Amino acid sequence: MEEVTVKETDTDGPHQHSHLTHGQVGHGRALRLDKKPILVFWETTKACPLACSHCRAQAISHSMPGELDSDASRRLIEQVASFGTPPPILVLTGGDIMMRPDKFELIKYASDLGIRVAISPAVSEHLSDKSLDEMYRLGVRSASISLDGIDKTHDLVRGIDGHYSHTLEAISRLLAHGFSVQVNSTVMRTTYRDLPAVAEKLLDLGVKIWEVFFLIQVGRGTALLELAPDENEDVARFLYDVSSYGLLVRTVEAPFFRRVAANLKEPNFAGPQILPPGDLYRQLSNDLISRLGKSPGPAKVPSVATRDGKGIIFVAHNGDVYPSGFLPVSLGNIKSAELTDIYRNHPLLHSIREAKFSGRCGVCGYRDLCGGSRSRAFAAFGDPLAEDPACGYLISDLDLAENIMGAS
């Protein structure tokens, strides 16, 4: 059982991309992550005007049969409120929330119950000034937008020529409307070289939060390539550097970022437990410095150990509940069970929260701070408690000794 204080800048997180936002997380008071998630992601619809190459939701142009109707949606919102005061933040994802005809009624219903609502819309003509005004009036203050690279890199991922410029324009408009904007980017073989340029662009635009999702081969992402573990380590090291330029950097499905950050922050933290910098780190770092100059200040990275099913829960379009949007192991359905009961009592979530893992994650000294991506473990091994194959950490003698002592 753990008790942590979550501040606005603390959470690593979820983001059930394209579409998650942990923006504006936290209530500045102690939260029990075994009792209440910080974020509830709700896939309000599968309908989306885009067809992104890595889409978790495999979104389509129309809603799917079985989508929660307005009545069922209100019951879900009541279940979120029943976690207690303050309730978790409700992140409206998709598909595209803007495709839900009842979106304003549902946001109002949640706001009236004291729930903070964040949106993760697609960039399309549906994201009009009028809609943004109405959402702001109803209490929405946070939005996350996906930007996966510069110019054609982004357009290729999104499958639409010119989408990059529309995305920049949408970010500027959201900021002008007063929203706190988080930008979500996916790290994969077709995008990682643009990371320094994206960081520069976000700082130019005035974005404060960058959430970087490390690809998992599910949904449309299956046809694309994840990076190798040593490359992930280099990207994590680079992101730590980026956070010193005034961007709060979080990762999604890459909790080993916390191990890398903890070691870089305090080099004596349990010994040297990250790989030495590789060629990819040097390329990214040199590019970053050529754009932004030398690092101006200390790194600013999250410290709260959330992971799939721990601080985060995901409700699919049809009411099925999952530890995250990337982990297709159903825990139940909100039409026949209470979300609070599923979150607090499901055995798989207990195992995830208690870090009962196998493989390297099971003997790793960082299994509580990090714990690996449960989604990637499932994608790779069919077991959500297996090790995260994307991690570059070589288990040390110290880890093994601690593990043996702990078992004796």
Residues within the interface to ligand SF4 (CB under 6 A): 256, 259, 360-361, 364, 366-367, 370-372, 387-388, 391, 393
We find the least distance from the C-beta atom of residue 396 to ligand SF4, in angstroms, to be: 10
**CA–CA distance, 365 with 173 (Å, rounded to integer):** 44
Nearer to ligand SF4, 138 or 361 (CB): 361
We find the least distance from the C-beta atom of residue 385 to ligand SF4, in angstroms, to be: 11
Q: Rounded to whole angstroms, what are the CA distances from 237 to 299, 359, 407?
A: 11, 24, 32
Write out 329-372 in H/E/C secondary structure: CCCEECCCCCHHHHHHHCHHHHHHHCCCCCHHHHHCCCCCCCCC
Nearer to ligand SF4, 149 or 365 (CB): 365
Query: Is 13 within 8 Å of 25 (Cβ atoms)?
Result: yes
We find the least distance from the C-beta atom of residue 393 to ligand SF4, in angstroms, to be: 4
Nearer to ligand SF4, 210 or 366 (CB): 366
We find the least distance from the C-beta atom of residue 357 to ligand SF4, in angstroms, to be: 7
What SS3 class is residue 209?
Answer: strand
Nearer to ligand SF4, 292 or 361 (CB): 361
**CA–CA distance, 11 with 313 (Å, rounded to integer):** 14
CA neighbor of 25 nearest in space, from 97, 91, 76, 114? 91
Secondary structure letter of residue 39 according to DSSP: E
Query: Is 62 within 8 Å of 43 (Cβ atoms)?
Result: no
Query: Is 259 within 8 Å of 273 (Cβ atoms)?
Result: yes
We find the least distance from the C-beta atom of residue 390 to ligand SF4, in angstroms, to be: 8
Nearer to ligand SF4, 121 or 255 (CB): 255
Nearer to ligand SF4, 353 or 367 (CB): 367
We find the least distance from the C-beta atom of residue 189 to ligand SF4, in angstroms, to be: 20
